[in-house]
Structure 1
Amino acid sequence: MSEVATPAVQPEDRTMPAVVYGLYLIGIANILTIFIGLIIAYANRATAGPMMASHYTFLIRTFWLSIWWFVIGGALVLVGIPLSLVLVGIPVVVLGAFIMGAVGLWFVLRCVVGVVYLAKGEVYPRPLSWLI
């Protein structure tokens, strides 16, 4: 009986996605590292294997969705501040601040969930989803 040798699947390097997740989480305190993480994710996504490519796609999408919603919340705050002089803008300012806070929480949760999948050595299951 001869056994057919199956090629050993080599594990993908998880270092760079972990670095990007770390840069994103550090970026909560200083925004610059988030942009550095985005550049690293774009640079490594094309050469990554399928598992790490899902994490890079997830990280890139997390960045763009959070920027989009943060800009919307910031615009509401900026529009609402002058309008709050006549009390009409107070709900707009509150809504904008709520959106910006929710986006910050959403950003952290997505990063933590991504780190958990990366630590398990698993593909991120829904990298194109806007939910967690």
Structure 2
Amino acid sequence: MDKPSSSSNTLATLAYASYLLSTFLPFVWFAGLIIAYYNRSSAEGILVSHYQFIIRTFWISLLFLMIGALLSYVMIGFLIIALTIIWMVVRCVKGLLALNKNQPIENPTSWLFG
């Protein structure tokens, strides 16, 4: 696989890190999405799959967080929100590990963990 430049690799790492940081500071979540969308068109090699994975992680998380928020009135929503946060953290850690090994995400369109 092509080895990404260190600046491109750093931007993808920042996108993952912003998602992880968003578990404590929710507004940081959007920074990762902006980084991924902005750099997706110029990405090469393994970074294409990582940016696609980052973007899908955002939209799937948003969907389930909204469902969890709506269902929080019947108490099951809190469980959905907690599971969504755990799911997002696992995806980000898996993405960071693959990025550090200069490996692409095998299935970036997967709803699970790639």
Q: 1:47 aligns with which of 30, 42, 51?
A: 42
Partner of 2:68: 73
Q: RMSD across aligned C-alpha pairs, in angstroms?
A: 1.2
Corresponding residue number in structure 2 for 1:125: 106
Query: 2: distance between equivalents of 1:66 and 1:40?
Result: 17
Aligned residues: 110
Q: Deviations over 1:41-66 (max 9, x none)?
A: 00000000031010000000000000
The share of aligned pairs that are identical, in percent, is: 38
Aligned position for 1:19:
14
Task: Give ranges in structure 2 of 5+ residues lacking alignment.
Answer: none
1:48-91 deviations in Å (ceiling 9; x for gaps): 003101000000000000000010011011xx3xxxxxxxxxxx
- Please identify runs of 4+ aligned residues in structure 1 that moved more than 2 A: none
How far apart, CA to CA, are the structure 1 residues paired with 2:30 and 2:13?
15
Query: Which residue, 33, 37, 58 being the options, matches 2:32?
Result: 37
Bigger relative CO (Cα 8 Å, ≥ 6 apart): 2
TM-score, reference length from structure 1: 0.79
Give the Cα separation in 2 of the matches to 1:22 and 1:50: 21
Structure 1 alignment gaps of length 5 or more: 1-8, 81-91
| Alpha-carbon distance in 2 for matches of 1:27, 1:117 | 21
- Please tell me whether Structure 1 or Structure 2 has the larger radius of gyration of its CA atoms: 1
Alignment equivalent of 2:90, drawn from 98, 103, 109: 109
Distance between the aligned counterparts of 2:3 and 2:45, measured in 1? 11
